[in-house]
Amino acid sequence: MKSPSALRILVPIIIGLALVAAGGGLYPAAGQPFSLVNFRGEDVTINARGLYYWDTVSSAAQMQANDAVTLFLALPLLSVAYRLTQKGSLRGKLLLTGTLGFILYTYITMCFGAAYNPFFLIYVALFSLSLFAFVLSMMSFEINSLTAHFSEKLPRRWIAGLLFFAAAFLSLAWLGRIAPTFLSGTVPLLENTTSMFIQAMDLGIVVPVCILSGVLLLRRRPWGYLLASVGLIKFLTLGTAVSLMALNMARLGVPVSPVELIIFPGMTLAGMVMTIFLLKNVKEVQGGK
Amino acid sequence: MKTVSFSIWASYLIAILAIIYSAAGLFLSNKSQPERVITPQGEEVTLYARGLYRNDSQFKGGILRGTDAVTLFVAVPSLWMAARKSGRGDITSKLVLLGIQAFFVYNSASLALGAYWNEMLLVYILCFSLSLYSFIMLFQSFEMPTLVEKIRPTMPYRWIAGFCAFSGLSLLIWVLDIITALIQGKPPAHLEHYHTEITYVLDLAILFPAVYLAAFQLWKRNPQGIRLGALLLIFLVFTGLVVAGQSVVQAMDGIIHTPQEYAAYVIPFILLSLIALGLAFALFRNISPS
């Protein structure tokens, strides 16, 4: 299980840039949020402080929760996974790929979801670097022999079930948010964003991956093991971020649906349990590299 | 072969979805007057105020409709033909199909994430998803040893490598925009009421590194560079057509740029597109059909 040498350059740069980007988002700043009615007739409250000055209070609360997860969970995990990968550990490589998936998703959403700010080029760089690092890491697995590295005791059906549940939940939740916008005279709840970027990302990329990896895992195909492993680790970090986002929004008095407060943390907990089962059922390669 | 057949069927579906959204963008119009709004930052923006792109700016409305025209009248028929020929196992058609699918990934992502919300959002998302996964599967389906056997010794690796490296420089115009804005302490010109600028993101995060990766691989005469280089050449041909289409529709909407703006943002892309077309022919001529 050799790791591409380019990752030795890309991963440390990603860690450095993500430290700057997440640290900048969390850096305390004074200011008083203010309300305005945007040109589409939607009431929004502008954050009016710090890096996320032109975002709404709700968006800023979500991005800062994500920054905290990036700083205190994803980056330490990425560093540990990187060290383990260097030692030839398959578990480390799965963790590395999944965490790179989380960083990639995070900075795609920051590129499209954060109101243009002075850190824009850093977000673009992180999107680009993590995309190429993720692809390199995915392609470095010896895919045909991967199935042999997982124990028979791996709870494939449970993992596939969780992936299908995540796909169904995301589809229903986001289609439920898009559907009312087709009613005549309805103002879509975009706050001050241009489009429904999270819905586009989740419905266009995440849902098909969940379904595909669940199906392939049930059929014991090598790609199923890889995609499901990467998906679970990405969900663990992303789920923690989304759960913290909901809690942070509730703390700041932003209305949060009970579904978001219950289902996301529930899915994160289930994802955490499944990730532990998955990593316990990985058989390491003798002799490292 | 299963992955290729998925990509071919996906191409037909992408073509149908693209006909729906591009025709809607191009032809739906309620003929109202442009209206002015103020952004939270206090900047005045003129909205297109008609058709599908009513919430987009007047500047971007023309760009989006110009792209729709090229999508509908050039990209969709090209996609359909390339899919048909690829189905017969023609490797050069497969390379062309890969390039056209890359155009549709870019186009549908730009609409789903960069155009102001409109009723076509689900169609954009579906087209984005299909074209992305179809592109990945088609890209992976190339058997490199087979491709290597078909490459003639006269393949102009270094001409294409040099062109890729040169055309990549054109994308630095976006970095210049961003740095100028950072120095001036204000958002980039043409950000208008948009949350962010998707063209900067896609061009700098994906296209720029891909172009230099292709240049590097081609310079080293690595056959992987032929796959990446071919798709980028086709993509660049479409970019030139799109930029020309956008300028025509903007002119029809009454937006005439300064000669300096045409020299910086329009003419270079059209010239690059023409050179890309010539090099694409040279590349495909050097791949043996048998």
pLDDT tens readout for residues B145-200: 989 999 999 999 999 999 999 999 988 989 999 999 999 888 887 788 888 899 99
Report how far residue B147's alpha carbon sits from residue B129's, in angstroms, rounded to the nearest whole number: 28
Instruction: Report the pLDDT value the prediction gives residue A124, as an integer from 0 to 100.
Output: 97
Instruction: Report the pLDDT value the prediction gives residue A173, as an integer from 0 to 100.
Output: 87
Residues of B in contact with A132 (CB under 8 A): 209
Instruction: Report the pLDDT value the prediction gives residue A3, as an integer from 0 to 100.
Output: 66
Q: Which residue of A has its CA nearest to B126?
A: A204
CB pair distance less than 8 Å for B195 and A131: no
Question: Which residue bears the tokens 């087209």?
Answer: B127
Count of A-B CB contacts under 8 Å: 106
B56's torsion region: left (phi>0), alpha (psi -120 to 50) or beta? beta
Report how far residue A95's alpha carbon sits from residue A103's, in angstroms, rounded to the nearest whole number: 12
Q: CA of A261: how far to CAs of A245, A250, A264, B21, B162, in Å?
A: 9, 9, 6, 36, 54
H or E element at residue A37: strand A34-37
Instruction: Report the pLDDT value the prediction gives residue A285, as an integer from 0 to 100.
Output: 64
CB pair distance less than 8 Å for B121 and A178: yes
Is the CB of B121 inside 8 Å of chain A's CB atoms?
Answer: yes
Q: What is the CA radius of gyration of chain A?
A: 20
CA dihedral A289, A133, A164, B114 (to 10 degrees): 180
Q: CA of A225: how far to CAs of A138, A157, A281, B164, B250, in Å?
A: 12, 12, 11, 37, 50
Report how far residue B73's alpha carbon sits from residue B173's, in angstroms, rounded to the nearest whole number: 29
DSSP β-ladder status, B35-38 and B44-47: antiparallel
CB pair distance less than 8 Å for B41 and A54: yes
The residue ranges of every structural domain in chain B are 2-285
Instruction: Report the pLDDT value the prediction gives residue A289, as an integer from 0 to 100.
Output: 39
Is the CB of B37 inside 8 Å of chain A's CB atoms?
Answer: yes
Instruction: Report the pLDDT value the prediction gives residue B77, as an integer from 0 to 100.
Output: 98
Residue segments in chain A with a per-residue pLDDT below the cut of 70: 1-3, 185, 187, 285-289
Question: Which residue bears the tokens 């006269």?
Answer: B154
DSSP β-ladder status, B44-47 and A34-37: unpaired
Instruction: Report the pLDDT value the prediction gives residue A286, as an integer from 0 to 100.
Output: 54
CA–CA min distance A287, chain B (Å): 30
Contact of A51 with A119, CB cutoff 8 Å: yes
Is the per-residue pLDDT at B98 higher than 70?
yes
Q: How many Cβ atoms sit within 10 Å of the Cβ of residue B256?
A: 10
Residues of A in contact with B128 (CB under 8 A): 200, 204
Partnered with residue A56 across adjacent β-strands are A46
- Residues B185-229 pLDDT 10s: 888 877 888 888 999 999 999 999 999 999 999 999 999 999 999
Report how far residue A235's alpha carbon sits from residue A252's, in angstroms, rounded to the nearest whole number: 25
CB pair distance less than 8 Å for B204 and A128: yes
Look at A227-231, B92-96, B121-125, B234-238 and tell me which has the smallest mean pLDDT: A227-231
Report how far residue B61's alpha carbon sits from residue A169's, in angstroms, rounded to the nearest whole number: 35
Nearest by CB to A112, from B40, B198, B204: name it. B198
- DSSP letters, A62-110, are HHHHHHHHIIIIIHHHHHHHHHHHHTT-HHHHHHHHHHHHHHHHHHHHH
Report how far residue B228's alpha carbon sits from residue B169's, in angstroms, rounded to the nearest whole number: 18
H or E element at residue B44: strand B44-47
Question: To 5 degrees, how large is the angle CA A171–CA A175–CA A179?
Answer: 170
Report how far residue A160's alpha carbon sits from residue B162's, in angstroms, rounded to the nearest whole number: 47
Which pTM was predicted? 0.92
Instruction: Report the pLDDT value the prediction gives residue B259, as an integer from 0 to 100.
Output: 86
CA–CA min distance B44, chain A (Å): 11
H or E element at residue B31: none
Report how far residue B9's alpha carbon sits from residue B3's, in angstroms, rounded to the nearest whole number: 10
Question: Which residue bears the tokens 């040169």?
Answer: B166
More confident residue, A85 or B35: A85
Residue of B30, B117, B175, B194 to mutate, interface with A, max A Cβ within 10 Å? B117
Counting Cα atoms < 13 Å in the Cβ hemisphere of A102 gives 32
Residues of A in contact with B112 (CB under 8 A): 195, 197, 200, 204
